[in-house]
Structure 1
Amino acid sequence: MELITSAERDGLFERFERDAFHLELRDDYGSPVEDTPYARWQRGEPDDFAWLDPWMTLMKRVRSEGRTVRRVRVVTEPHSQYVGWEHSLTSLNVAAGEDIRWLPRHRLPAGLTFPSGGNDWWLYDDRLLAVGHFDAAGRVLGSQVVEDPQTVAECVLVRDRLWGLAVPHAEYRP
């Protein structure tokens, strides 16, 4: 299986036309970009959020071009420490133009099966997937690009089902 880097995956934001959707299924992630800010937060130290600038700039540009970026974060309650940190930052993502919703894991529909082996994925314009792959410690290994119409269609159905169940960030109270 060939994986693209996180930077290459972010490059897909240059190519989509209408909608990018991210399904997040993990309660903990590992990313070199986040390691220092996360450790700072755990120690109660302030953050200038400069590490988020490239993503926020990209999101603002994408939104100014009339394209949408949405996420559903499926989370365990009570939250892991990582999800608590992520929740504390989400207002920044929303301010940059992302539409983020939260879905407590215990509210998932019975019998729901996640396509792509239960991995996270970005879905671009209902035709291209970037399926995230992680090591045992939750560190990002890369993303697999998938264009198989059946897999993409399954992801569209899951997205639409979960989007309607998930709680908008402004209304979500963990």
Structure 2
Amino acid sequence: MFANFQHTAYRLELRDRYSSSDNQKPLREWVETGTTDMAWIDPWLAKVRAAADEGRFYRRVRVVSLPPTDYTRYSTWAARLNVEAGEDIRYLDRDQVPAGLPEFDYWLFDSRTAARMHFDDEDVLLGFDLVTDPAELVELSYWRDAAWHHAITRDDFASQLLDQR
């Protein structure tokens, strides 16, 4: 599903951390040393590159709490790889979120299909529900545009984080 879009795959992320077996060790290493091996993300980056080469785009808005969590600092550092691969990642301060923004993460594919994400209390992805209802897709598209309008680029957000140190 995540590769079967024609133009744009957009994700709204609202959690202050995401937990998976892939990212726990790199996160710990990064917190301790300021660097880590990111080879685990190579398959994702290959998908992003392939999509970009075909004229398709991955876009993402991360809603973040400030001051940033260790996870936010780590994921901002790591996101440079996504950006280099062709993904456009933006950041939005949680205090500047437009009123009414959904309180759940979702993917939106070409404004025609969405995947509403479900997580457990430990921030582990449990699965998703597909959304195809036209009225709900229009609403999710509206919130995509609103969040995107208020968000700043990964590089601008990263330099603001460095300025805070």
Same fold (TM over 0.5): yes
Amino acid at match of 1:112: G
Q: How does 1:134-149 map to 2 (within 5 A)?
A: 134-149=119-134
Q: Alpha carbon RMSD of aligned pairs, Å?
A: 1.3
How many angstroms apart in 2 are the aligned matches of 1:145 and 1:85?
Answer: 30
Q: Unaligned 5+ residue runs, structure 1? A: 1-11
- The 3 A distance-change label for structure 1 pair 89 and 15 is same
How many angstroms apart in 1 are the aligned matches of 2:8 and 2:40?
Answer: 25
1:128 to 99, 113, 138: 113
Give the Å deviation of 1:38: 1.2
1:112 to 95, 100, 114: 100
Give the Å deviation of 1:46: 4.2
Q: Unaligned 5+ residue runs, structure 2? A: none
Does residue 152 (structure 1) correspond to residue 129 (structure 2)? The answer is: no
Q: How does 1:57-68 map to 2 (within 5 A)?
A: 57-68=46-57
Give the Å deviation of 1:84: 0.9
Amino acid at match of 1:70: R
Structure 2 contact 11–59 (Cα < 8 Å) conserved: yes
1:164 to 136, 149, 152: 149
Aligned length: 159
How many angstroms apart in 1 are the aligned matches of 2:15 and 2:130?
Answer: 19
2:60 counterpart SS class: strand
How many angstroms apart in 2 are the aligned matches of 1:14 and 1:171?
Answer: 28
TM-score (norm 2): 0.91
Residue 4 of structure 1 is matched in structure 2 by none
Structure 1 window deviating more from structure 2 (96-105 vs 33-42): it is 33-42
Q: Which runs of 4+ in 1 moved over 6 A?
A: none
With a CA cutoff of 8 Å and minimum separation of 6, indicate the structure with the bigger relative contact order.
Answer: 1
How many angstroms apart in 2 are the aligned matches of 1:113 and 1:19?
Answer: 20
Identity between Structure 1 and Structure 2 (%)? 38
Amino acid at match of 2:43: P
Residue 9 of structure 1 is matched in structure 2 by none
2:7 to 6, 12, 18: 18
